[in-house]
Structure 1
Amino acid sequence: MSEICRCSSSEAEIELFVNRLDSVESVLPYEYTAFDFCQASEGKRPSENLGQVLFGERIEPSPYKFTFKKEETCKLVCTKTYHTEKAEDKQKLEFLKKSMLLNYQHHWIVDNMPVTWCYDVEDGQRFCNPGFPIGCYITDKGHAKDACVINSEFHERDTFYIFNHVDIKIYYHVVETGSMGARLVAAKLEPKSFKHTHIDKPDCSGPPMDISNKASGEIKVAYTYSVSFEEEKNIRWASRWDYILESMPHTHIQWFSIMNSLVIVLFLSGMVAMIMLRTLHKDIARYNQMDSTEDAQEEFGWKLVHGDIFRPPRKGMLLSVFLGSGTQILIMTFVTLFFACLGFLSPANRGALMTCAVVLWVLLGTPAGYVAARFYKSFGGEKWKTNVLLTSFLCPGIVFADFFIMNLILWGEGSSAAIPFGTLVAILALWFCISVPLTFIGAYFGFKKNAIEHPVRTNQIPRQIPEQSFYTKPLPGIIMGGILPFGCIFIQLFFILNSIWSHQMYYMFGFLFLVFIILVITCSEATILLCYFHLCAEDYHWQWRSFLTSGFTAVYFLIYAIHYFFSKLQITGTASTILYFGYTMIMVLIFFLFTATGPKQFHNPSEPHFHQLSGIQNFWTLK
């Protein structure tokens, strides 16, 4: 619908759209048409972008039609009749009961704005939920579940109460122009339940619409609505989302927590940098105290392994492929968050965030191929065809295979989140026809350039690595290296997981972008620091270790996601559990490649700081 409603025309129609229904107790969303609700007799379904389809949004016209400034009271939309002895009716009724038991929520849209249900929560705050429940359930022990607590008349045991009536209030702001138009700035509703005695002439009074779990015979449910209009002078069209975003739970806690974590991370990052500088200064001072050539030849620490630092790593092919894919993800994340900070990917632009990320990933095949080729060539690799093919298909193939398996489960459950076959074909076309050729182009330029020249020659005979202490062994160092980076993201991670699994809006992209920058810096500093300590312990196998040190942050991400599942979510059912952990593994893999690759942009095969150390070493040796 157009954002402007002309007040001069009393016949201006306001169209209400319905979106998928979802629940915090299930990962399976369903289309509106999957339920036996009132259906629109006519209306064109709005087109959806790639991001909306991937997120499972299914927006379609509704039977609720309003005329601007024309108020309605208890208007009948339709009546649904169920005969419990009929298998088809019984199946529809059971599906409705199951949905109420799992607290499935409607999501309605007016003028691209969610129709919100606002109610009081703890501490006198008012929360505006962009959805409202189908109904609720009173257990056989008399406990009120979910929304049943709002009405004292919901008291019958083992009974479902369906919200078959909504009071809708639409707020508008008059535009002070010659056109005398008005813009819709908010739409709120209050769900109610009525057992209409006279269905032909409902009056929206009387007891609630109850459906006993053991009900039999004929059951009639009449759906009605009331609508009113109110002028709102304090809300402008440009800021009409503010009342929703500002009412999100934990908003004020999030501001304080993010600022607190940023201060801590900046302090720790400074400490890491200071330790690094002091360590280097101490080593250089030791060289300055050497008075004789004989003393200068008494090498120690990292100086002993300068001839082995640039020895090609084991499995260099796999490492270069991971670095290429990680670079692709790193740049994609940076650009996406940058656009989000500018406001281009706000919640008002439905699906824009995911669409932007997918398109950027496809177009960034060239940097992936180039980086993979440059690293692989610096490792002395010659199988360039294998390198390019693995860069194009290994990591994306793992993600797509996981995604496809999850999609099969969604198909089997009849969920709206199942990606249509046509969209899958489109995704494959983007991958094979655009991303893969761009990867080959990047690899061509990467292999065409000369290999990176190292400042020192690599010894022909590998130096024997002495026995390592516990904290300089690979695994303990890698485990410790991921703690600090995870410490700067776990607060943001909570809100991101909330937005994904609890269907809450996420809009604080400015803070997220800042945390992203600090995460990359922290990963780099932690990796360089631990790598230096390991070289001082005469262990020159640093390439994989530096990659896995910061990449281990993803393991902490996985542990936190498991904790979040058991402590915060109420997900039930085998399919939902498999879907949660299936999608979590995709996020963990992407996060692993991102965090592991970020430090390599500073901590690459050229190793500038080790070049400087080698130069200092050579100078004092000649002296």
Structure 2
Amino acid sequence: MRPKRVVLLSTVFSATVSAFYVPGWSIRSYADSDPVPLSTNKLTSDNTQLPYAYHEQPFVCPATPDGWGSKFGSSRAISLNLGEVLRGDRIQISDYELRMGKDDTCRHRCDRKVDRAGVEKARQLIKDGYVVEWIVDNLPGATSFVTVDKSKKYYAAGFKLGYVEDDKVYINNHVTMVLRYRKDDKNPSRKVIVAFEVYPKSMDTGDKRCPEDLEGHKPFEVYLPPAINKNKKDTSTLTIPFTYSVYWKEDNSIQWNNRWDLYFMNGDDSDGVHWMAVMCSLVIAMLLSGTVAVIMVRTLSRDIQTYNAVPNEEGKVGKTEEEEDDELMEDTTGWKLVHGDVFRAPEKSSFFAPIVGSGVQLFVMGLSLLVFSVLGVLNPSYRGGFISFALFLFVFAGLFSGYYSSRMYKTFKGEHWLQNALLTGLLFPGVVISVVFTLNLFVWAQASSSAIPFSTLLALIAMWLFISLPLVLIGGFFGYRKDVWEHPTRTNAIARQIPPQPWYLTLVPSVAIAGLLPFLVIFIELIYVFQSVWVGKGYYYVYGFLAITAVILLATVAEITIVMTYFMLCAENYQWWWRSFLYGASPAIWVFLYSVYYFFTVLHIEGFVSSLLYFAYSALASAILGLATGTVGVLSAYTFVRKIYGAIKAD
């Protein structure tokens, strides 16, 4: 029956894809002369973190109620998913006329009268290096480049709004659009779009809006002379003519399934770097695995055998169960001396369990995102899909958060499971919502499109309070009903005094050392992630390498936490709970430090608000990584501690 089920599911999925347009999966085809919608999105810049909606700018051609765009529906605004809204997308169908296969040498779009405020805004955006994002058939309009040897072509999403030359500001008021297509494999009479290139140009043609020759014209300067009489209302305006050309070219060298490859600069050349990074990460993980093996197989095994071989008063080898519970282990090696305190509940255990629960929630979310990404569901063509999936997965992973938080809370002899579950569901999401709301106030003040609308903010809060929180409570209820995790040794009534620790086991040095190796594992891949997020407009695509690196990272975090915990126990320090979390979370500290270095050495972000957004979002991302890996560290150390003390207890 299983093969039949697979066939049935495949059929249902194929029918669904055929019935609905799924970005990245479905193909849209056009017949000759079919109208093709061109949508405008936003203005973005590498120098700021503040995008702006293109159609809201006072110096661009507005869409008219009965214009070309009305052919595609009464509403010009495209419905956006949650991820698109959060990333600042504001997509609207424009009045630029495109028909499949029909070239247009030059067409006048509009004459836009701009007042002084609009001129100043245009000048400032051009000086800040803003680029324009247009969309045709879900492809962003791209600026085309070729390598030095002219052997390869690649795309950069968007085209320049204008440029500055000799202290003068010029706007690109003419665009030449080149749309590449090929015949649909299933229906040769129809065509599919495989590339969308935009070549901007600034030209002042005087009264001739569309001259026969588009070359040889001086650029159009965005400038208004200063007002003569400042006491009167300034009514001076600048008229900017906007024109465009459209050319269709058949290109059979690009497959529809591979049409996004050109947006990934040097993608083929970077594969070797990714593989080298994976091999280096594997070497580090293998060295740590060898260290853990030496500790487990040689050192610990020898210690356990030596202890279990000590004869008791009756001349027997090993200890009776009563003696194990009542006598201290008379051995000078440190880790056995703390057997009566090693399972003592940590300080602030009421916060420790919710933090671990939140880490489990983030771990489940991250793992699921990687799976969907590797399968190709979350690809760059699914605009906003990654953020949308992350939010929904986080919400539904609340079940795991509440379950594991309650189980750990019960292990610490906690009695108020509801209070613990509420704290688990409110603590981390509450901090994130508070930070996002505060940042949103700054973005609102800048009138940026990345400002979260009030209705969307209410929807996020509703998802948190009415879906995520109840799921955490349900998970907490079932987790608390489970039996407590039993420990192999009994906790002493009086806490043992901790001797002075070596310098390398004090808090700051030990955490720094523990985080360095896992950070080195992900360092090279981290460079590509930063480049994609902060420079490449989020077009990250090598999720296979990212998944491999993530697996190696988790293994490395688990191993380094076990090693550092063993050193702590050998130094007779039984307060390993919080330390194991910090050891696991320590790579996030290095990631944040690298983000600071990246800001000052690579990026060119200007302005207080943009800098604030960069550091705040970098801190949030580092905190998310730290909670997830810190939880892995806690669970790894807990398993290790139970294992070694359980081995001593065995006959």
TM-score (norm 1): 0.90
Residue 602 of structure 1 and its aligned partner are, at CA, apart by 2.9
The structural deviation recorded for 1:286 is: 5.0
Note the 1:22-41 alignment, pairs <5 A. Answer: 22-35=44-57, 36-41=59-64
Report the equivalent of 2:617: 583
Change in 2 beyond 3 A, CA 1:543/1:177: closer
Letter in 1 for 2:644: L
Secondary structure at the residue paired with 1:64?
coil
Contact 2:277–2:525, Cα closer than 8 Å, also in 1: no
Q: Distance in 1 between matches of 2:594 and 2:549?
A: 18
Contact preservation (8 Å) 2:340, 2:491: yes
Superposed, 1:330-409 pairs within 5 Å as: 330-409=363-442
1:596 aligns with 2:606: no
Residues 192 and 329 of structure 1: is their aligned pair in 2 closer, same or farther, counting only changes over 3 Å?
Answer: same
Whole-angstrom CA distance in 1 between matches of 2:549 and 2:444? 37
Write the distance in 2 (CA, Å) between the matches of 1:119 and 1:205: 21
The one-letter amino acid of 2:96's match is Y
Instruction: Tell me if structure 2 keeps the 8 A contact 1:195–1:210.
Output: yes
- Answering whether residue 215 of structure 2 is matched by residue 205 of structure 1, we say yes
2:608 aligned residue: 574
Q: 1:176 offset after TM fit, Å?
A: 5.0
Instruction: State which of 221, 240, 262 in structure 1 corresponds to 2:259.
Output: 240
CA-to-aligned-CA distance 1:413-465 (integer Å, 9 cap, x gap): 10000111111111111111110111110111111122111111111121121
Q: How does 1:482-501 map to 2 (within 5 A)?
A: 482-501=515-534
Runs of at least 5 residues in structure 1 that lack an aligned partner in the other structure:
83-88, 139-156
Change in Cα spacing, 1:616 to 1:445, as seen in structure 2 (3 Å) is closer
**Match of 2:288, SS?**
helix
1:113 has 2:139 as partner: yes
In the TM superposition, residue 550 of structure 1 has moved relative to its aligned partner by 1.5
Query: How does 1:178-327 map onto structure 2 within 5 Å?
Result: 180-203=189-212, 204-211=214-221, 215=225, 219-245=238-264, 248-249=265-266, 251-252=267-268, 254-280=270-296, 281-285=298-302, 288=305, 293=311, 297-327=330-360
Partner of 2:18: none
Segment drifting more, 383-392 vs 373-382: 383-392
- Tell me the SS of whatever aligns to 2:194: strand
Residues 447-596 of structure 1 aligned to structure 2 (within 5 Å): 447-502=480-535, 503-596=537-630
Which one is further off, 429-438 or 123-132?
Answer: 123-132
The secondary structure found in structure 2 opposite 1:185 is strand
The amino acid of 1:96's aligned partner reads A
When structure 1 is superposed on structure 2, of 161-170 and 287-296 the one drifting more is 287-296
After TM superposition, give the deviation of residue 315 of structure 1 in Å: 0.6
Q: Is the 8 A contact 2:361 2:400 kept in 1?
A: yes
- Shift of residue 218, structure 1, vs aligned partner: 5.8
Distance (whole Å) between structure 2 residues aligned to residue 618 and residue 238 of structure 1? 60
Gap change, CA 1:215 and 1:447, over 3 Å in 2: same
Q: Distance in 2 between matches of 1:177 and 1:316?
A: 62
The answer as to whether partners of 2:168 and 2:221 remain within 8 angstroms in 1 is yes
The answer for the alignment partner of 1:165 in structure 2 is 174
- In the alignment, the residues of structure 2 paired with residue 464 and residue 492 of structure 1 have an alpha-carbon distance, to the nearest angstrom, of 44
Structure 2 residue corresponding to 1:410, chosen from 425, 439, 443: 443
Q: Name the residue aligned to 2:87.
A: 55
Whether contact under 8 Å (1:196, 1:206) holds in the other structure is no
Q: Distance in 2 between matches of 1:268 and 1:176?
A: 47
In 1, distance between residues paired with 2:618 and 2:80?
Answer: 25
Aligned position for 2:120: 94
Amino acid at match of 2:286: G
What amino acid does structure 1 have at the position aligned with 2:54? Y
Please give the secondary structure, in 1, of the residue aligned with 2:629: helix
> Which deviates more from structure 2 when the two are superposed, residues 175-184 or residues 272-281?
175-184
AA aligned to 2:79 is: S
Q: What CA deviation, in whole Å up to 9, does each residue of 1:294-336 have, x standing for no partner?
A: 8994341211111111011101111111000010000000001
Q: Which amino acid aligns with 1:186?
A: A
Match in the other structure for 2:15: none
1:617 aligns with 2:648: yes
CA offset digits 1:220-256 (Å, max 9, x no partner): 32111111111112222222222222xx15x356423
2:45 and 2:129 in contact (8 A); partners too? yes
SS at match of 1:78: strand
- Cα deviations across residues 192-231 of structure 1 (Å, max 9, x unaligned)? 1211123354342332323265646764321111111111
Residue aligned with 1:353, SS: helix
- Note if contact 2:153-2:262 (Cα within 8 Å) is conserved in structure 1: no
Larger CA deviation: 469-478 vs 353-362: 469-478
Partner SS, residue 329 of structure 1? helix
Conservation of the 8 A alpha-carbon contact between 1:194 and 1:208 = yes
Q: Are the aligned partners of 1:329 and 1:361 in contact in 2 as well (CA < 8 Å)? A: yes
Aligned equivalents of 1:482, 1:197: Cα separation in 2? 63
Q: Secondary structure at the match of 1:39?
A: coil
| Residues 29 and 256 of structure 1: CA distance in aligned 2, closer, same or farther (over 3 Å) | same
- 1:330-354 Cα shifts (integer Å, max 9, x gaps): 0000001100100001011111111
SS of corresponding position for 1:393: helix
Name 1:146's counterpart in structure 2.
Answer: none
Contact 2:181/2:251 (CA < 8 Å) preserved in 1? yes
Q: Percent identity?
A: 34
1:434 paired residue among 454, 467, 478: 467
Distance 2:504 2:209 in 1: 79
Letter in 1 for 2:64: S
Q: CA deviation at 1:279?
A: 2.4
- Bigger Cα displacement from structure 2, 189-198 vs 168-177: 168-177
CA distance in 2, matches of 1:183, 1:445: 52
The CA deviation at 1:288 is 4.7
Q: SS of the residue aligned with 1:11?
A: coil
Number of residues of Structure 1 aligned to a counterpart in Structure 2: 588
- The Cα of 1:408 is off from its aligned counterpart by 1.0
Change (3 A) 1:611 1:559: closer
The separation in 2 between residues aligned to 1:542 and 1:38, in whole angstroms, is: 64
Matched letter for residue 257 of structure 1: V
CA deviation vs aligned residue, 1:486-524 (integer Å, no higher than 9, x gap): 111222222222222222511111111111111111111
Give 3-state SS (helix, strand or coil) of 2:425's partner: helix
In 2, Cα distance between equivalents of 1:49 and 1:496: 23
Residue 585 of structure 1 aligns to which amino acid in structure 2? Answer: A
| Contact 1:368 1:442 (8 Å CA) reproduced | yes
State the SS of the aligned residue for 1:266: helix
Contact 2:122–2:222, Cα closer than 8 Å, also in 1: no
Task: Report the TM-score, using the length of structure 2 for normalisation.
Answer: 0.86
Corresponding letter in the other structure for 1:293: P
Residue 33 of structure 2: aligned partner: 11
Distance 1:286 1:326 in 2: 34
Q: Distance in 2 between matches of 1:411 and 1:6?
A: 40
SS at match of 1:306: coil
Give distance in 2, aligned partners of 1:123 and 1:597.
49
CA contact (8 A) 1:362 1:431 kept: yes
Q: Which amino acid aligns with 2:83?
A: G
Rounded Cα–Cα distance in structure 2 between residues aligned with 1:179 and 1:283: 70
Distance between the aligned counterparts of 2:503 and 2:186, measured in 1? 75
Q: Against the structure 1 CA distance between its residues 288 and 375, is the aligned structure 2 distance closer, same or farther, given a 3 Å change threshold?
A: closer
How far apart in 2 are the matches of 1:395 and 1:289?
46
Task: After TM superposition, give the deviation of residue 38 of structure 1 in Å.
Answer: 0.9
Asked if 2 retains the 8 angstrom alpha-carbon contact of 1:196 and 1:205, the reply is no
Unaligned runs of 5+ in 2: 1-20, 71-75, 227-235, 318-328
CA distance in structure 2 between the partners assigned to 1:506 and 1:287 by the alignment: 49
- Residue 603 of structure 2: SS of its match in structure 1? coil
